[in-house]
Structure 1
Amino acid sequence: MDFKSDAQINTGSVTSGGGGRGGGLAIGGIGGVIMVVLALLLGLNPGDLLGSTGQNNDPGVVKSECRTGADVQRNPDCRWPAYMTSMEEYWSQALNGFQAPTMVTFSGGVNTACGQASSQVGPFYCPGDNKIYVDTNFIGQLLQQLGTETSYAAEAYIVGHEYGHHIQNLTGVLARSQDGRSGPMSNAVRVELQADCYAGVWFKWTSNNDNDIIDNITQDDLNRIVDAARAVGDDHIQQQSGGGVRPDGWTHGSSQMRKFWVTKGFQTGDPNQCDTFSTDELGQ
């Protein structure tokens, strides 16, 4: 997976730091699932593990250095606005009434409209401010912790998933995950699987688009995407946390379910095929 050297990057798609406090629940924090599982196993309050460190450090994205795809070679941090530029180009064409989100990069902890969050929550989307939050220093550690390798493709899948939550927020679907239920057939899982499918749809589009900033997506990249989807399955995370598999506690879906939907998105290239709410065939 490469970046076209002459393609323009939308530098305004990524900022550093955080926002103010407000309402709304952060969605899609992969690391947060791990921390909550560990807390329950240890008999602790999940909030004690998910508290903010109070830091708001810029991990290194410098806007003036991120103008074209060629800049990613000079400064790898430029890949984050490159991912966002590609996703904005696709979704602006695919969704009526589209409004672009922004990504906030941070290190350690961040204040958001959904409250405070530490790096251990992992990448997440906050519907209260329409922003995707990523600790760019921690994401590689998180992928390794989950037993998969860090790669541009794996990172892009995660960003694409969080971008999918923004699309769900625009369409009104995201609120369905807030009913407090869990389990393989819950709305929480259906929302996460749809976001996976949306990430796969975007990958299909960029792999077929000769004009997009992302270039040369290989079979190995696709394998990395599927492997990342496997790694963030609830059953895999529960096993990694040292406990048994408990489907009644799933909020994101099993490894098999997540692989199924990201693959379906890529194979169809059609966001209309990502309706996880009208079927009980979720790929278990």
Structure 2
Amino acid sequence: MKWEGNRESDNVEDRRSSGGGGGFGGGRSIGIGTVVLALIGWGVFGINPLTTIGVLSGADAPQVQQAPAQRPPGDDRQAAFVSTVLASTEDVWGQIFQQGGAQYRQPKLVLFRGATPTACGTGQSAMGPFYCPGDQKVYLDMDFFDTMSRQLGAPGEFARAYVIAHEVGHHVQTLLGATAKVDGMRGRISQRDQNALSVRLELQADCYAGIWARHSQQAKNWLDQSDIESAINAAQQIGDDTLQRQQTGTVRPDAFTHGSSAQRVRWFSQGLKTGSVQACDTFKAQAL
């Protein structure tokens, strides 16, 4: 992925020196997938990962003062990569919204280590990257990139870019109202039906990541086939069935919250192929 020399976003907050933080809200965060604690709770106890996230981000989390937000240091290559990818999402979604007669509201991306306060409660590294609709920020502990390579079998810079673009996809969903509609169903439908809605929300974010990939490639020509393959591999490695099989040796489709490997690959590829928001309507799709 030829990303060096491209514009970097000004919307990156670096909290990595703060050492953690306390929560100040109770909203639900939306992530690409829980990595450690939530998967253990899921695999061993059958607990929905979103439930585990809710516990992690509750009032009992440790309360630590947050250091003032600052820009990443100029010599931090990994932070420069994140800033460059975020800038590209700003360009792509800004143009798409403009073509639709609307203005794109850019999200912030927060770099942190360990834990940090969010409007959805205390964000923990164990959640993996996530988006908080309450403050419209993406949260990322970059140690997750090492987890992707070493534990999840998903190496490569464009695989990492896909992760960022997926979380930005959740921001687009918030702006378009999809997130509020899904959250509005909470407590009114069964847990199984709620999981099914969560799957459709996550697959749409994968499709939106594909849209970004297509438009950014048209604008910058910064990808080759191996980059696309690394993103597709990442989508496959973090499918619910793959993660469940690794954790427990069995697959429970009724407990899916993000979609199977095949579904995640299909919807990312759908966005990549079409570049169309309308083609990413997972909520109307008869088959996922």
Give the TM-score normalised by the residue count of structure 2. 0.83
* Residues 15 and 90 of structure 1: CA distance in aligned 2, closer, same or farther (over 3 Å): same
Per-residue CA deviation, residues 45-103 of structure 1 (Å, 9 max, x unaligned), is 83698466767899xx85462xxxxx7xx723211111110000110111223100010
Alignment match, 2:34: 31
Alignment match, 1:88: 90
Amino acid aligned to 1:105: L
In the TM superposition, 1:261-272 aligns within 5 A as 261-272=267-278
Amino acid aligned to 1:272: Q
Unmatched 5+ residue regions in structure 2? 16-20
Number of residues paired by the alignment? Answer: 265
Q: Is the counterpart of residue 153 in structure 1 residue 173 in structure 2?
A: no
The sequence identity of aligned pairs, in percent, is 35
The Cα of 1:232 is off from its aligned counterpart by: 1.1
* Residues 267 and 218 of structure 1: CA distance in aligned 2, closer, same or farther (over 3 Å): same
The Cα of 1:43 is off from its aligned counterpart by: 3.7
Q: Distance in 1 between matches of 2:112 and 2:195?
A: 34
The Cα of 1:184 is off from its aligned counterpart by: 10
Q: Is the counterpart of residue 162 in structure 1 residue 161 in structure 2?
A: no
Unmatched 5+ residue regions in structure 1? 66-70
Q: 1:228 aligns with which of 215, 224, 234?
A: 234
CA contact (8 A) 1:122 1:139 kept: no
SS at structure 1 position matched to 2:146:
helix
SS at structure 1 position matched to 2:103:
coil
Q: Distance in 1 between matches of 2:125 and 2:207?
A: 25
Amino acid aligned to 1:38: I
CA contact (8 A) 2:199 2:258 kept: yes
Alignment match, 1:13: 11
Amino acid aligned to 2:34: G
Alignment match, 2:207: 197
SS at structure 2 position matched to 1:208:
helix
Q: Distance in 1 between matches of 2:127 and 2:195?
A: 24
In the TM superposition, 1:101-120 aligns within 5 A as 101-120=107-126
* Residues 40 and 253 of structure 1: CA distance in aligned 2, closer, same or farther (over 3 Å): closer
Alignment match, 1:139: 145
Amino acid aligned to 1:102: K
Q: Distance in 1 between matches of 2:65 and 2:144?
A: 14
Alignment match, 1:79: 81
Q: 1:277 aligns with which of 260, 263, 283?
A: 283
Deviating above 6 A after TM superposition, structure 1's stretches of 4 or more consecutive aligned residues are 53-58
Amino acid aligned to 2:93: W
Q: Is the counterpart of residue 172 in structure 1 residue 177 in structure 2?
A: yes
The Cα of 1:122 is off from its aligned counterpart by: 0.2
* Residues 114 and 245 of structure 1: CA distance in aligned 2, closer, same or farther (over 3 Å): same
The Cα of 1:169 is off from its aligned counterpart by: 0.2
Alignment match, 1:187: 197
Q: Distance in 2 between matches of 1:19 and 1:116?
A: 5
SS at structure 1 position matched to 2:117:
strand
Amino acid aligned to 2:172: I
The Cα of 1:262 is off from its aligned counterpart by: 0.2
Q: Distance in 1 between matches of 2:234 and 2:148?
A: 11
Per-residue CA deviation, residues 211-266 of structure 1 (Å, 9 max, x unaligned), is xxxx5301000000100000111101101112410000011100000000000100
CA contact (8 A) 2:31 2:131 kept: yes
